[in-house]
Amino acid sequence: MNARTDRQEAKLQPPKPGRYRLPTLVQPNWRPRDLLVALGGDPREELATLLCARYGVRHCLLLDRARSGMYLLIRAAGIGGEWILPSFMHRPSVVLLRQQLAAIAFADIDPHFCIDPVSAERLITRNTRAILATHSYGKAADLPALRRLADAHGIMLIENAVHMAGRQRIRDRIVGSFGDAALLSFNVDKPLGAILGGALLTNDNALWGSLSAFPLEYASIRETRERIFTTYMAYRLKPWLLRLPFMRAYRAAVDGAAEVESFSAERYRKYTPHRIHPLQAAVALQCLRREDQLLQRRAENAERLQRGLADLEELDLPLHEPERPHCHTYFPVILRDGSRFRLGERLAAAGIETKWRYYPMHMQAAFANVRRDVMARTEILWRQHLLLPAGARTATQGIDHLVKAVRRALRA
């Protein structure tokens, strides 16, 4: 295979199975009956109180999505200037930050897919106002090091905790309470697995005063209804829909990089944040009440998958460190030879959906001129990683089938 084909293949998302043997990679937690419970009253105060307890903070502002929290930190709290963030991130969030901030700068990531404190430090200038630390795939960033770095330079530390569940501790502190603020998402592909919605958390009373005073209207019920329909179709019904003959084209491999870049870089020149809709809050509350059970199940699946794949020299598996908790929102494996597309293709034939996420921002044309550090690890890990469906809905027999399928595919 020549170098040009390798580059093209790296951008492809693997095909989807014709017949699913395991649940989808993204596994929603919300259930249709949660919508009935939502009719029982306004749950927002209870949801905010529980989130404060689970993330070790005093204040919680419930919003329509995590991006609205980013906007409010800039516009309501006045944290402008330049932010340092990983290039390995969700494009819509970076589009918003670039439109609303004076500047952004891209740092490299560590072996856990999280921002590297050493790389971030090299980027700090007198214009830097904040570091945005994403807990990628459910693995905590190096928060003690990032907190020391932020304090040493008098800048803000903001935790992008959209992949991080509550009650994850580093020593005596909960992840989500290390930063001056933290962002949560309740969306279907996040730990809660609900229907949109998010939160902005903080222990800073002055910051809270600015944030809570900002005038906000409630999110649209129309968007909430649309998300109920689309998430149910995309994740709950997808395994059956893709069996239909006329859906064959949707099972094919696609250019994942082009798919990411299709989100307009001009999208958020104007942005309007909203409070969470009561229906979103009610569903999120039901999902939050089940979170401990989901966390236990994901941890069991991750441990079983680790044991089943540990002896394979072709793979690097998620690293375990006592100081870096992992809630296993996703289970990434690293293909040392970069053959992730071929593995994904073979697993699809075995009824298993896989994909990669986060085409690095600095590799996208719209962000090529953004100031950045050397991105060696970001580019390697993006090119080599693949996500396996080890979520809470994957049964033990499914994990065993996944282990066997991966081993067969690598032998092939």
Lowest-confidence region among 96-100, 117-121, 127-131, 237-241: 237-241
* Confidence (pLDDT) at 319: 84
Q: How sure is the predictor about 1, in pLDDT bands with cuts at 50, 70 and 90?
A: very low
Which CATH fold would you assign to the domain 32-221? Aspartate Aminotransferase; domain 2 (3.40.640)
User: With 70 as the cut, is the pLDDT of residue 6 above it?
Assistant: no
Residue type, 150: A
The pLDDT value given to residue 39: 74
Residue 178 CA: distances (Å) to CA of 80, 201, 276:
20, 11, 24
Q: Give 3's pLDDT tier (boundaries 50, 70, 90).
A: very low
Which tokens is 339 given? 């053959």
Ranking 6-10, 74-78, 103-107 by mean pLDDT, the lowest is 6-10
HSE, CB side, 13 Å, CA atoms: give it for residue 199: 33
Q: What pLDDT digit, counting tens, does each position of 273-290 carry? A: 999 999 999 999 999 999
Residues for the chain: how many in total? 412
CB 68 within 8 A of CB 198: yes
Alpha-carbon span 162 to 29, nearest angstrom: 15
The whole-number average pLDDT for the span 73-82 is 97
Average pLDDT of the chain, as a whole number: 94
The Cα–Cα gap between 408 and 412 comes to 6
Dist. CA 251–CA 341, nearest whole Å: 14
Helix (H, G, I), strand (E, B) or coil at 29: coil
Q: What is the mean pLDDT of residues 3-14?
A: 76
Distance CA(49)–CA(35), nearest Å, equals 21
pLDDT digits (tens, 9 = 90+) for 118-151: 999 999 999 999 999 999 999 999 999 999 999 9
Which among 97, 63, 59, 66 is positioned nearest to 210, based on CA atoms? 59
3-28+222-265+289-411 homologous superfamily: Aspartate Aminotransferase, domain 1 (3.90.1150.10)
Q: How do the domains of the chain map onto residue ranges?
A: 3-28+222-265+289-411, 32-221
Report the relative pairing of strands 181-185 and 156-160 from DSSP bridges: parallel
Task: Report whether 84 contacts 130 (CB < 8 A).
Answer: yes
In contact, 100 and 83? CB cutoff 8 Å? no
Q: Is the pLDDT of residue 4 over 80?
A: no
Q: What is the mean pLDDT of residues 190-197?
A: 94
DSSP state of 324: B
Q: Phi and psi of 103, rounded to 5°?
A: -165, 160
Task: Report the distance separating Cα 125 and Cα 127, nearest Å.
Answer: 5
Identify the band that residue 5 occupies on the pLDDT scale cut at 50, 70 and 90. Answer: low
Tell me the percentage of the chain whose pLDDT exceeds 90. 86
Q: Which one-letter amino acid corresponds to residue 24?
A: T
Query: pTM here?
Result: 0.95
The identity of residue 290, as a single letter, is R
Find where tokens 């090119």 sit. 383
Report the pLDDT value the prediction gives residue 91, as an integer from 0 to 100: 97
Alpha-carbon span 163 to 392, nearest angstrom? 15
Q: Select from 345, 373, 375, 342 the least CA-distant residue to 358.
A: 375
What pairs with residue 174 in β-bridges?
169
